[in-house]
């Protein structure tokens, strides 16, 4: 095990996770009013209406796939009948679909940001840096999946990357598991950790304030101020315009 390997597969992951946690606490305490998506919907909606749902549905599928592939030991899946073949087929088909959906969504969002004047003007330097690392993590992950899982013989990341990431979370890092992982996967993991370190300082903080409760809240009931207005049956034609009450106008 070389010092470089310890830096790559122990120091960088822990540093990134620490910055991610402390950074969010710092941002919440010192920049609560800047905690926002910085939405640009008022400037442009035609491209956003396609790009945003594609990107967000895609990335949610990618995250679900990562939770299953990285954090659930394969023996547990074998126990409920998900064999190596079934897992590999499912992960590759759904993973490729999710990856393409996310990347096309991201391409639309970046194109919009560059070509729609007001959206471009509202783009900060931090947004641009974030897009580079987001695209890198997505790009390397997709490339690795296509090169090894779709067109190659299949790389067994559940014997290497998955137990390694779990070893990080239980504070017993096993560097040797990452030593012979193909370069594309290594670049994917490193760009993901770079993204995690940037995360608290970007608009990505909005992930932790997604308005999920909105789906379950009770309806907001609107009632007319006019006591009779809501109850009486609509009449044909126009309602007469009432002359303003001079006494009421005087009080205003
Ligand atoms: C340290 C954290 C991460 C690790 C260890 C990791 C590991 C992996 C592995 C093993 C695959 C191959 C999955 C397969 O082919 O079945 C993969 C694919 C992929 N990853 Fe990651 N990943 C990480 C973070 C991320 C992040 C933050 C993103 C997005 C910004 C991302 C986006 C993707 C995409 C788009 C694919 C291809 C589609 C898919 O299989 O879901 N990954 N990653």
Among protein residues, the one with the nearest Cα to ligand 1's atom 17 is 141
Task: Give the C-alpha separation, 222 to 229, whole Å.
Answer: 12
Indicate the angle between helix axes 84-115 and 125-144, nearest 10 degrees: 150
What band does 230 get if pLDDT is binned at 50, 70 and 90? low
Pick the CATH number of 3-209 from 1.20.950.20, 3.40.449.10, 1.20.1300.10, 3.20.20.70: 1.20.950.20
- The response to whether residue 95 sits with its C-beta less than 6 Å from ligand 1 reads yes
Q: At 105, list the tokens.
A: 């969504």
Stretch 99-114: mean pLDDT, rounded? 97
Residue 197 near residue 15, CB atoms below 8 Å: yes
Stretch 46-55: mean pLDDT, rounded? 97
DSSP conformation letters of 117-182 = HHHHHT--HHHHHHHHHHHHHHHHHHHHIIIIIISSS---GGGTHHHHHHHHHTT---GGGGTTS-
Of the ranges 4-8, 89-93, 215-219, which one carries the lowest mean pLDDT score?
Answer: 215-219
pLDDT at res. 251: 73
- The response to whether residue 99 sits with its C-beta less than 6 Å from ligand 1 reads yes
Q: What residue ranges do the domains of the chain occupy? A: 3-209
At 163-189, the pLDDT tens digits run: 999 999 999 999 999 999 999 999 999
What band does 190 get if pLDDT is binned at 50, 70 and 90? very high
Residues 6+ apart with CB under 8 A from 249: none
Task: Give the C-alpha separation, 52 to 95, whole Å.
Answer: 19
E strand or H helix that includes residue 191: helix 183-198
Atom of ligand 1 at shortest range from CA of 13: 1
What band does 221 get if pLDDT is binned at 50, 70 and 90? confident
Among protein residues, the one with the nearest Cα to ligand 1's atom 26 is 192
pTM confidence score: 0.85
Task: Give the C-alpha separation, 249 to 246, whole Å.
Answer: 5
| Residue among 89, 105, 187 at smallest CA distance from 144 | 187
Q: At 104, list the tokens.
A: 């096309």
Stretch 63-83: mean pLDDT, rounded? 96
Cα Rg of the chain (Å, integer): 26
E strand or H helix that includes residue 24: helix 12-30
Task: Show the CA angle centred on residue 156, arms to residues 150 and 162, nearest 5°.
Answer: 115
Task: Give the C-alpha separation, 240 to 226, whole Å.
Answer: 15
Residues 6+ apart with CB under 8 A from 194: 16, 133, 136, 137
- The response to whether residue 184 sits with its C-beta less than 6 Å from ligand 1 reads no
* DSSP state, residue 112: H
Residues 6+ apart with CB under 8 A from 118: 40, 43, 44
From the CA of 225, how far away is ligand 1's center (Å)?
Answer: 54
At 144-168, the pLDDT tens digits run: 999 999 999 899 999 999 999 999 9
Q: At 223, list the tokens.
A: 């009632």
From the CA of 174, how far away is ligand 1's center (Å)?
Answer: 20
pLDDT at res. 93: 96
- The response to whether residue 188 sits with its C-beta less than 6 Å from ligand 1 reads yes
- The response to whether residue 88 sits with its C-beta less than 6 Å from ligand 1 reads no
pLDDT score of 132 more than 70: yes
pLDDT score of 229 more than 60: no
């Amino acid at each position: 095990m070389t010092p470089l390997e310890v830096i790559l597969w122990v120091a960088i992951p822990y540093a990134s996770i620490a910055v991610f946690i402390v950074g969010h606490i710092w941002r919440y305490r010192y920049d609560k009013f800047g905690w926002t998506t910085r939405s640009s919907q008022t400037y442009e909606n035609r491209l956003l209406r396609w790009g945003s749902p594609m990107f967000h549905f895609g990335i949610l599928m990618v995250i679900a796939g990562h939770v299953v592939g990285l954090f659930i030991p394969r023996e547990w899946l074998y126990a409920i009948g998900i064999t190596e073949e079934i897992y590999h087929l499912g992960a590759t088909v759904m993973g490729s679909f999710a990856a393409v959906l996310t990347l096309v969504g991201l391409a639309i969002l970046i194109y919009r940001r560059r070509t729609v004047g007001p959206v471009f003007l509202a783009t900060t330097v931090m947004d641009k840096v974030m897009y580079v690392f987001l695209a890198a993590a997505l790009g390397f992950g997709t490339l690795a999946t296509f090169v090894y899982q779709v067109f190659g013989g299949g790389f067994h990341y559940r014997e290497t990357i998955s137990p390694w990431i779990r070893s990080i979370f239980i504070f017993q890092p096993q560097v040797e598991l990452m030593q012979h992982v193909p370069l594309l996967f290594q670049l994917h993991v490193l760009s993901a950790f770079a993204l995690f370190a940037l995360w608290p300082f970007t608009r990505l903080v909005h992930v932790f304030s997604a308005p999920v409760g909105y789906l379950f809240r009770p309806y907001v009931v609107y009632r007319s101020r006019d006591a009779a207005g809501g109850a009486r049956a609509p009449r044909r034609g126009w309602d007469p315009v009432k002359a303003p009450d001079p006494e009421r106008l005087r009080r205003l």
